Structure 1
Amino acid sequence: MIPDYYSIAQVADILSVSKETLRRWDSNGTLVPQRHPDNNYRVYHRSQIEHFEQAQLLFNSKWDEEVTIKPDRDYKLVELFAGAGGLALGLEKAGFQSLLLNEFDRHACNTLRANRPLWNVVEGDVANVEFSKHRDQVDILSGGFPCQAFSYAGKKLGFEDTRGTLFFEFARAVKETNPKVIVAENVRGLLKHDDGKTLESITNVIDEIGYELVDPRVLKAVFYQVPQKRERLFLIGIRKDLAPFVKFNWPSPYTRIMTMRDALKKGDLFDTDTPKSEGQTYPKRKAEILAKVPQGGYWRDLSDDLQREYMKKSYFLGGGKTGMARRLSWDEPCLTLTCSPAQKQTERCHPEENRPLTVREYARIQTFPDAWIFSGPLTAQYKQIGNAVPVNLAYAVGRSLVALLNDIEKLNASSKPLKKESEIHKQMALVV
């Protein structure tokens, strides 16, 4: 159910603006909060924000309709750079069956095997994996290849020019398997990496190997039933013999923003409070200082003497450094998780207790189920979770991919045969 009133923090998340921007809009009269009729808190009524495009997407969401999407047949998946299984688990939840998952990290591979003994987990360098035996058996090939710069020689790069990069191996796997659809996810920074040249090269190669790229989109996990402000760039490519006849539709947002309370307490996301688990700890003095930081606060909420003690030389440097001595809030989503919850630059302190988040709390914020166990030492577990695609985000994207493949199945089932790619190109040339 869509609520009538929204807190300042919630509106900041919905509109993708900072609280400081909302304060400025309050001061100049652009958007002024009102008093809640029940508790007198300063809030915004739905009518105040529904003219914003971002809010319209939320209020007019087709989430309830999309969550009922099921595959018309068993769709097959191959995934590269699988990590601890966030993307694979979300796609499995949407209805995909994994033919092969490749991952280099041994602890992550052990995690995959421990949770899904029947998955075909191939451990090791992707360059040594042969994909040809799965040719024409794969509906989706997915993977989050690391963001790497390419070498330039004053020309647009093609497939062979990217050799030596992990993206080359992703593209090679595509060429060898010939899937109907490809899915690549990456950090938002790929959009501007190397002044946009990296993404341009990736786009060129995707075109060269026979796929039409849907306009890339950054998806904010907080809109997809994930209690975390994580952003991931998704690249969706449809094979050129299919692309003219179908359309990929990005998933609709969930009807509200999930918070730390949703993540760690019994409620809409989980049936119980977070189970007890291992976790890192703070040194005694650090814990004493963080005890002075209020929920949602950071180092600037400390007294000046404690600011100087905690920040040391950084106290005199510019920039907000808002991740330092940061305490999370029950009523807001978590900040993007890092690979270590106790790093001074990217603090993620529990909302009430004076400690970092535990492994299971980390996992919940990434929407892994409580039954999903992580292998390896504590640092390896945090790293696996911190690097993962949030499961619910992957699930939402997975439903959209299932809808796309269902449409492709209808094409294949129709009596009218698909035009060959060469015929399509000839017609396009005539039109030009």
Structure 2
Amino acid sequence: MTTAHPPQLTPAAVRDHFHSSDTVLVAGGCGQPDAVLDIVAQARLDLPLTVMDCSVPGMTELDPDRISSASTLNTGFFLGGYRRLHAAGRLDWVPAFHSARYRALEDFYGVDVALIMVAPPGADGACSLGLHTDYSLAMLAKARLVIAEINAAVPDIADAPRIPLADIDFAVTSDRPLLEYRIGGKAADADAIVADHIADLVEDGDCLQLGIGALPVSILQRLGGKRDLGVHTGLLTEAFMPLVEAGVVNGRRKNIDTGKLVTGIAAGSQDFYRWCAGYAGLALRPVSYTHDAGVLASIDQLVAINTTLEIDLFGQLNSETLDGRQVGGGGGLVDFLRGARASRGGRSIIALHSTAKGGSLSKIKALLSGPVTALRADVDYVVTEQGVARLSNQSLERRAQALIGIAHPNFRAELTAQWQEILRRC
């Protein structure tokens, strides 16, 4: 099939087709279309635009000035680089889980302009969205104007959403390497102990979801003795790759998407991206599938393993603030916690170190000082280097004692006294 190539994007075309009060949604992660953003920046717009990001923490932070100097950024993540926007009154931070934000893009927000990156068109005249599909379908369904970076480095994933070349209004052709995700720093000594505890909670045939960071890597490194694991996750890193190559992760026992490794985003090195391109079992899906409550509940033995900033003795999680400062967002955490709890044989697991700031601060609190990201009924297990606390089906008293038991010994007496005071006030 032969389809005419979209016209080349130019600064003049940007000035002609971007309108005051437009909402511009930009793909993130390894799908961030930097070649498009460079040309948009050359247009030097000063229009009052709403820019919506799909940034991946630790990988991409969108600078809305690349689109318009008078823009406001609407985001579900409060990333470090966004503080200057907040101080200038140019940040609309929206507390929302991934599933809810996707639905809002479909039903609430009007997306006028979509900036995406795709693979070159195949024989069918369509372009694969490659390794970053999370919010792309929601933006493409509503956008008045679709601008794509057609990048030869984007793999044409067979089992990923595609967009007809004819649906792209303007394009920029490139062959630049995809943005990489690297886990910074050295794994903490406590990570190995926490990972050992969690490995004991993982059973043969489980379907895994893990977050990103050094601790999830340590966990995956300890699962080599398991059999027939599956994966259904929002973000796939190369820490999964050795388990797939060893046959530990094969999806054989998955009751849906059997044999498929399902994710919304892949993030890693160039070697990992090449591996993804050659792995026939990889399936890229939008947030409306990866984080959907019904889909997650239908997956047998779904085990969601995530981290948090702090937890209190009721089992409530704060994954958003430190010392009163906003440092993150809910993301997909609660989507997966609740999906795993609804799954037949599923489990939700929270992993964290017992202390912070060199051991001077307990990450297990009597009562949260920040917002409640996840409710006390959302978590089955909490794991620190001190041990494992099972919270599911436990009374308030028993869960409090279990959490005190996995706090650092230096803080247990204080937590016990604080808990007694909480009970006295009840």
Normalising by structure 1, we get a TM-score of 0.30
- The structure where strand makes up a greater share of residues is 2
Query: Normalization by structure 2: what TM-score?
Result: 0.30
Q: Greater RCO between the two (CA within 8 Å, min separation 6)?
A: 1
Specify which structure has the higher proportion of helix.
1
Instruction: State which structure, 1 or 2, has the greater radius of gyration over its C-alpha atoms.
Output: 1
